[in-house]
Amino acid sequence: MLKVTNIGKAYGKFTALEDINLEVADGEFLAIMGPSGSGKSTLINILGLLDQSYSGEYLLKGKNYKEVNDNRLSQIRGDQLGFVFQNFKLLTTYSVYENIEIPLVYSKKEQHNKQTLVEDVINKVGLAGKERNRPSELSGGQQQRVAIARAIVNRPNLIIADEPTGALDSKTSKEIMDIFTKLNQAGTTVIMVTHDSEVAKYAMRTVYIRDGRLYSDAESVKNHD
């Protein structure tokens, strides 16, 4: 799915990422863990084609998008990637249905029946009956379901989730992780940042970032415990 070779990222004199190497296979479910400020968001912003100012090489599905212009990049993000954030990032004046429909409205992909696609994902995340509600009328867990539905409606190759359970209680977190697990079992690659080791257990593999450097599970134990 993706390959990162020797990636570095600096904010002025501050090195946020250094010598990052990572390969994620199609169909994997990867958790990225690490302390606050270690570089997790910086890394997934690069993986999600939201940040192009890094050194090293990033290939998504074998392609290097570093020189691609912003319009084309947002098209690629919309068509190939799905994003889920800690604070849901829903549009508050839109209904559940309208929030989920957004990626289809902007996509240039052929979509024969948008309504069926939206209804399918609403059922998948267990929100049938809530189509006309506004986000403010939903619980945190329900809002995250809307965000997940919005992330998958365009059938992305890869879902990038930044602390998707960070604002949820443990029971709701489990329900949300069950949805990610199902999506992954159906073939979607998932990369998820989390602080919560219980949540990371849902992933097949966990990598750790500390001070901008990446460690695999075993290396992390060796170097830091």
Ligand X SMILES: Nc1ncnc2c1ncn2[C@@H]1O[C@H](COP(=O)(O)OP(=O)(O)OP(=O)(O)O)[C@@H](O)[C@H]1O
| Interface ranges with ligand X (CB under 6 A) | 11, 14, 16, 34, 36-42
Residues 6+ apart with CB under 8 A from 221: none
Q: Smaller CB distance to ligand X: residue 33 or 148?
A: 33
Closest CB 39 distance from ligand X, rounded Å? 4
Q: Residues for the chain: how many in total?
A: 225
Virtual CA dihedral for 14, 22, 180, 102, nearest 10 degrees?
60
- 8 Å CB contact between 144 and 88: yes
Closer residue to ligand X in complex, CB, 17/149: 17
Give the Cα separation of 98 and 100 in Å (integer).
5
Helix then strand count (H, E) for the chain reads: 8, 10
Smallest distance from ligand X to CB 161, Å: 13
**Between 40 and 145, CB nearer to ligand X:** 40
Q: Which is nearer to ligand X, 35 or 187 (CB)?
A: 35
Q: At closest approach, how far in Å is the CB of 195 from ligand X?
A: 7
Among residues 161, 189, 148, 158, the alpha carbon closest in space to that of 86 is found at 161
The minimum distance between CB 210 and ligand X, in angstroms, equals: 10
Nearer to ligand X, 31 or 96 (CB): 31
* Minimum CB distance to ligand X, residue 26 (Å): 25
Contact by Cβ (8 Å): 176, 165: yes
The distance of closest approach from Cβ of residue 16 to ligand X in the complex, given in angstroms and rounded to an integer, is 4
What is the sign of the dihedral through the CA atoms of 124, 129, 132 and 137?
negative
Phi-psi region of 64 (alpha: psi -120 to 50; beta: other; left: phi over 0): beta
The nearer residue to ligand X, 155 or 213, going by C-beta atoms, is 213
